[in-house]
């Protein structure tokens, strides 16, 4: 890439969306990701669903955004009672993008659903509904509701180097990571011990987080990601 | 390598994950059309200096969306010209101007068509349903209709689609003056439905939505020229 600012691809889903009086399938993404990337000196481009991994060689960094539940099939389970809407085409496309990014050592930031998908494809397993899982019933808000809680970050991790050892995060997820598979866990929620972050040591930048850093002013995380993309 | 095609988007408030959430959105039909024609679609939104973005793109689509600020063509706001976004107008203007300057293949659709014409010195009618001669142009307010557009033989688009094409219509504003652009298509009421800048390798601009009408030839040619 010849641009002075790194090109950051952000995945996004397709949903029926309203335009005035009609509804069309639209590619949609909350503006917060885009704004944060611009703020940290990147050029954001949105990657529509169904995009193939050929995009990886054309960008400098990849963000797998938040969104709907991933298909439990990915981690060998059936749909739970609260796993209602899944989008296999989006899952397949994002899995290919993640795998290609890892192979090419492309700076990678996985957020919320993106974090869960990252774990699942590394032989991880999810809790399909925290409000009905022993010990995690009060984890946090979901279904549009947002709460906050503390997170402790493990000393010596890249995430700790970037953000320090204790932070406050937002929480708006009903699923969570039960088993991170082969990935290294780097953060836990302070009130119930749920896995909140992982990282891939073999990459220049490979971090997944359960929360939405772009919605809670976690500029340092995005800045570190963009800086890494600048060098790639 | 397949060409990277940037597609513009709109920022709106929608009930998405939460009520009234600010989202970037565009109908999926554009990216599908680009993909099917052999390109790599990317969606773009205001991100500062457009030159840096144009540096990495091989082609550009200025998509449909909201009304344009009539101040750009020296007029006052009509009561039916609503929800304008001057920042979006300015950014897309810089993209269009940048693309023309570097002769980047560009396809302008609906709002994109209107914005291109305005930038090149043209003018819009702000509300066709109440403009003499255009009251029956087509459906608006969420409905679609079809109309026939006659294309002139000395145009790129004639070579792709022929002399007469059926295009859909869901727009309440329209182009009656295309500035210095080459007018290549009109409906029977005279409204300017297609323009080109024939000094460019590929600059095609249409009022209708070719991605909704199966006019794949336009996208295929865009991809072909963007690959050069």
CB-nearest to B27 from A3, A25, A29 is A25
**What is the set of domains in chain A, with CATH numbers?**
7-124+178-185+194-231 (3.40.50.880)
CB-based contact B42 A17, cutoff 8 Å: no
Cα B96 to Cα B99: distance, rounded to the nearest angstrom? 5
Give pLDDT, residue A232: 67
Torsion of CA B190, B191, B194, B196, to 10 degrees: 80
Which single residue is written with the structure tokens 């220049």?
Answer: A204
Cα A56 to Cα B33: distance, rounded to the nearest angstrom? 21
What pLDDT digit, counting tens, does each position of A148-167 carry? 999 999 999 999 999 999 99
Which CATH architecture describes the domain B4-226?
3-Layer(aba) Sandwich (3.40)
What pLDDT digit, counting tens, does each position of A46-99 carry? 999 889 999 999 999 999 999 999 999 999 999 999 998 999 989 999 999 999
What pLDDT digit, counting tens, does each position of A154-205 carry? 999 999 999 999 999 999 999 999 999 999 999 999 999 999 999 999 999 9
**Sign of torsion, CA A115 A116 A121 A125?**
positive
What pLDDT digit, counting tens, does each position of A200-226 carry? 999 999 999 999 999 999 999 999 999
CB-nearest to A30 from B17, B41, B143 is B17
| Long-range contacts from A14-19, C-beta under 8 angstroms, 24+ separation | A14/A48, A14/A49, A14/A90, A14/B28, A15/B16, A17/B14, A17/B16, A17/B25, A18/B14, A19/B27, A19/B142
Catalytic residue status for A214: yes
Q: What is the DSSP string of B160-218?
A: HH-SEEEEEE--S-EEEE-TTSEEEEE-TT--EEEEE-TTSSSEEEESS-TTTTT-HHH
ipTM of the complex: 0.95
- Residue A27: CB atoms within 10 Å: 27
CB-nearest to A27 from B2, B22, B26 is B26
Give yes or no for residue A1 having a pLDDT over 50: no
Q: Are A48 and A14 in contact (CB under 8 A)?
A: yes
B22: tokens are: 């600010």
The structural domains of chain B, with segments of one domain joined by +, span 4-226
pTM of the model: 0.96
CA distances from B136 to B67, B140, B150, B175, B186 (A): 20, 10, 17, 15, 15
CB-nearest to A45 from B2, B42, B143 is B42
- Taking CA atoms, what residue in A is nearest to B49? A43
Average pLDDT over residues A119-130: 98
- Taking CA atoms, what residue in B is nearest to A28? B25
Mean pLDDT, chain B cut into blocks of 10 residues (228 residues total): 97 91 96 98 94 96 97 96 95 98 98 98 97 93 90 97 95 96 97 97 98 97 97
pLDDT band at A2 (very low <50, low <70, confident <90, very high): very low
CB-based contact B42 A18, cutoff 8 Å: no
Cα A172 to Cα A144: distance, rounded to the nearest angstrom? 7
Query: How many whole angstroms from its chain centre is CA A31?
Result: 15
CB-based contact B56 A1, cutoff 8 Å: yes
Distance from CA of B45 to the nearest CA of A (A): 8
CB-based contact A24 B141, cutoff 8 Å: no
Average pLDDT over residues A12-20: 86
| Catalytic site residue from A112, A160, A174, A196 | A112
Catalytic residue status for A173: no
Q: Which of B5, B24, B40 to mutate to test the interface with A (most CBs of A within 10 A)?
A: B24
Closest CA to B49 of B98, B118, B86, B110: B98
Q: Are B110 and B207 in contact (CB under 8 A)?
A: yes
Give yes or no for residue A3 having a pLDDT over 60: no
Catalytic residue status for A217: no
CB-based contact A25 B29, cutoff 8 Å: yes
CB-based contact A43 B52, cutoff 8 Å: yes
In sequence order, the 6+-apart residues with CB closer than 8 A to the CB of B225 are: B59, B105, B201, B202
Cα B140 to Cα B134: distance, rounded to the nearest angstrom? 12
CA distances from A203 to A36, A225, B216 (A): 22, 12, 41
Pairing of strands A22-30, A43-47: unpaired
């Amino acid at each position: 890439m010849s641009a002075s600012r790194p090109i950051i691809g952000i995945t996004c889903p397709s949903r029926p969306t309203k335009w005035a009086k009609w509804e069309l399938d639209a590619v949609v993404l909350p503006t917060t990701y885009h704004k944060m990337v611009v703020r940290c000196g990147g050029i954001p481009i949105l990657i529509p669903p169904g995009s193939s991994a050929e995009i990886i060689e054309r960008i400098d960094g990849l963000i797998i955004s938040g969104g709907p539940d991933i298909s439990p099939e990915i981690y060998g389970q059936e749909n739970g009672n609260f796993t209602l809407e899944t989008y296999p085409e989006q899952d397949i496309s994002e899995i290919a993008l993640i795998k290609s990014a890892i192979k090419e050592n492309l700076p990678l930031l996985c957020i919320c659903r993106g974090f869960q998908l990252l774990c699942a494809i590394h032989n991880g397993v999810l809790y399909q509904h925290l409000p009905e899982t022993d010990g995690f019933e009060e984890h946090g808000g979901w279904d549009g509701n947002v709460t906050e809680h503390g997170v402790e970050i493990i000393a010596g991790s890249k995430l700790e180097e970037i953000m320090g050892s204790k932070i406050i995060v937002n929480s708006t997820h009903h699923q969570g990571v039960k088993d991170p598979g082969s990935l290294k866990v780097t953060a836990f929620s302070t009130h119930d011990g749920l896995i909140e972050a992982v990282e891939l040591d073999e990459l220049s930048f490979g971090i997944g987080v359960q929360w939405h850093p772009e919605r809670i002013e976690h500029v340092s995380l995005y800045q570190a990601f963009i800086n890494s993309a600048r060098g790639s | 390598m397949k060409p990277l095609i940037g597609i513009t988007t709109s920022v709106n408030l929608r009930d998405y994950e939460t009520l009234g959430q600010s989202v970037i959105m565009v109908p999926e039909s554009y990216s599908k059309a680009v993909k099917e024609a052999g390109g790599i679609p990317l969606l773009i939104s205001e991100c500062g200096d457009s030159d840096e973005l144009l540096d990495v793109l091989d082609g550009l689509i200025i998509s449909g969306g909201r009304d344009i600020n009539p101040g750009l063509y020296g007029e006052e706001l009509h009561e039916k010209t609503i929800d304008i976004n001057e920042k979006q107008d300015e950014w897309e203007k810089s993209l269009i101007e940048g693309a023309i300057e570097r002769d980047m293949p560009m396809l302008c659709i609906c709002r994109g068509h209107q914005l291109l014409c305005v930038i090149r010195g043209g003018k819009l009618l702000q509300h066709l349903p109440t403009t003499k001669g255009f009251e029956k142009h087509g459906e608006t307010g969420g409905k679609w209709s079809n109309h026939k557009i006659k294309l002139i033989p000395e145009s790129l688009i004639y070579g792709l689609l022929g002399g007469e094409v059926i295009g859909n219509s869901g727009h309440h504003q329209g182009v009656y003056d295309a500035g210095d652009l080459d007018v290549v298509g009109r409906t029977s009421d005279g409204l300017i439905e297609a323009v080109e800048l024939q000094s460019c390798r590929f600059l095609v601009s249409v009022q209708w939505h070719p991605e909704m009408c199966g006019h794949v030839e336009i996208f295929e040619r865009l991809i072909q020229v963007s690959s050069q």
